[in-house]
Chain A
Amino acid sequence: AQRVTQPEKLLSVFKGAPVELKCNYSYSGSPELFWYVQYSRQRLQLLLRHISRESIKGFTADLNKGETSFHLKKPFAQEEDSAMYYCALVFTGGGNKLTFGTGTQLKVEL
């Protein structure tokens, strides 16, 4: 069965510092990976997916199949980046049956 691991429950960084939110997965096939974000008092929303290879709000994520990782990175953290971040996986043909990690709370301090 597929599994998504986010090793850090809480990550605290200073404004302007680089951010890396870790995500590792276990799945034998070719998964699709996503990052979802939940800002305070807002609903869960899609941040980015690996297929699109976009940079959203300055965040990027590269799928490393060798290391089975999909870490989320941003070179300079902003206060508005403080939120809960979830890594998620869906297997090919799995529709919208996402497997989520337990989430990492990012706190950007001034």
Chain B
Amino acid sequence: KAGVTQTPRYLIKTRGQQVTLSCSPISGHRSVSWYQQTPGQGLQFLFEYFSETQRNKGNFPGRFSGRQFSNSRSEMNVSTLELGDSALYLCASSFRQGRDGELFFGEGSRLTVL
């Protein structure tokens, strides 16, 4: 079974630009969650999508958005990038349905904002 795949793995942007990150979940998983990992704040929940609907949202500004497609693939977008957005963005998929919290993580997309 292929694992969670995230693209791109590394990217460099400048302040003010926007970025789109992609996540392909494990086949059969309908829930996709996004987390931001930084040395200072650790792992922080961004949002969760299930069946193309946002089910949960973390405490991030509106510049952070996401969506899920009918094939369960998900994208997250960050607009008007700030230096503080530099982080590892992790995607995780889950079968859900009674197995909340059992996440399968991708390797992450490392974003550097200059």
Q: Do A and B truly interact? A: yes
A residues within 8 Å of B by Cβ?
Answer: 32, 34, 36, 43-46, 49, 86, 88, 90, 94-103
B63 on the A face (CB < 8 A): no
A-B contact count (CB 8 A): 62
Q: What are 10 pairs between A and B in contact, CB < 8 Å? A: A32-B101, A34-B101, A36-B103, A43-B106, A44-B90, A94-B56, A96-B56, A96-B101, A100-B42, A100-B44
The answer to whether A96 and B43 touch (CB under 8 A), given A43-B106, A46-B102, is no
Chain B 72-114 near chain A by CB (<8 Å), digits 1 or 0: 0000000000000000001010101000111111111000000
Q: Given A43-B3, A88-B101, 14 other A-B contacts at CB below 8 A?
A: A34-B101, A36-B103, A43-B107, A45-B105, A46-B104, A86-B43, A95-B50, A95-B55, A96-B103, A97-B33, A98-B43, A98-B45, A98-B103, A100-B44
B residues within 8 Å of A by Cβ?
Answer: 3-4, 31, 33, 35, 42-45, 48, 50, 55-56, 58, 90, 92, 94, 96, 100-108
